């Protein structure tokens, strides 16, 4: 299995005009063009543009990934604190109902219901 870059650039000639493309490797067989510019007179101009834009493209992508990671971390922390508050509320509710939060009297497998005893 060969190792290829996720992002790269390529130079394409269409008649007398050169084009530079920033490409993304979607799968092993499929490549997507993320950015394209045509109208270069020489291959060298297209190469310079491709290198410069690829560097800029990757920097923007890294910044975006860092932002998304920070947002994901904040969401995870908020969800954890919300779940912790919900657990505290449930424990307080159980204590207020007269049940202790850590009592072992609850048996999930028991078929004996308190309402059946009154009959």
Burial class for 46, CB neighbours closer than 10 Å (0-12, 13-18, 19+): buried
Domain range enclosing 27: 7-92
Query: Is the residue at 118 inside a domain?
Result: no
58 Cβ contact list (under 8 Å, min separation 6): 7
Query: Is the residue at 117 inside a domain?
Result: no
Q: Where does the pLDDT of residue 3 fall: very low under 50, low under 70, confident under 90, or very high at 90 and above?
A: confident
Query: Is the residue at 24 inside a domain?
Result: yes
Query: Is the residue at 50 inside a domain?
Result: yes
Asked whether the predicted pLDDT for residue 101 surpasses 70, the reply is no
Mean pLDDT computed over 61-71: 96
Mean pLDDT computed over 38-42: 94
Query: Is the residue at 102 inside a domain?
Result: no
Query: Is the residue at 1 inside a domain?
Result: no
Which pLDDT belongs to residue 98? 76
Q: How many domains does the chain have?
A: 1
């Amino acid at each position: 299995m060969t190792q290829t870059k996720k992002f790269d650039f390529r130079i394409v000639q269409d008649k007398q005009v050169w084009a530079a493309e920033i490409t993304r490797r979607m799968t092993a067989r499929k490549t997507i063009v993320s950015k394209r510019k045509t109208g270069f007179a020489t291959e060298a101009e297209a190469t310079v543009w491709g290198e410069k834009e690829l560097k800029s493209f990757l920097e923007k992508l890294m910044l975006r990934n860092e932002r998304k990671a920070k947002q994901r971390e904040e969401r995870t922390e908020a969800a954890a604190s919300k779940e912790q508050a919900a657990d505290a509320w449930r424990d307080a509710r159980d204590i207020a109902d007269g049940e202790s939060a850590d009592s072992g009297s609850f048996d999930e497998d028991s078929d004996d219901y308190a309402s059946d005893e009154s009959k």
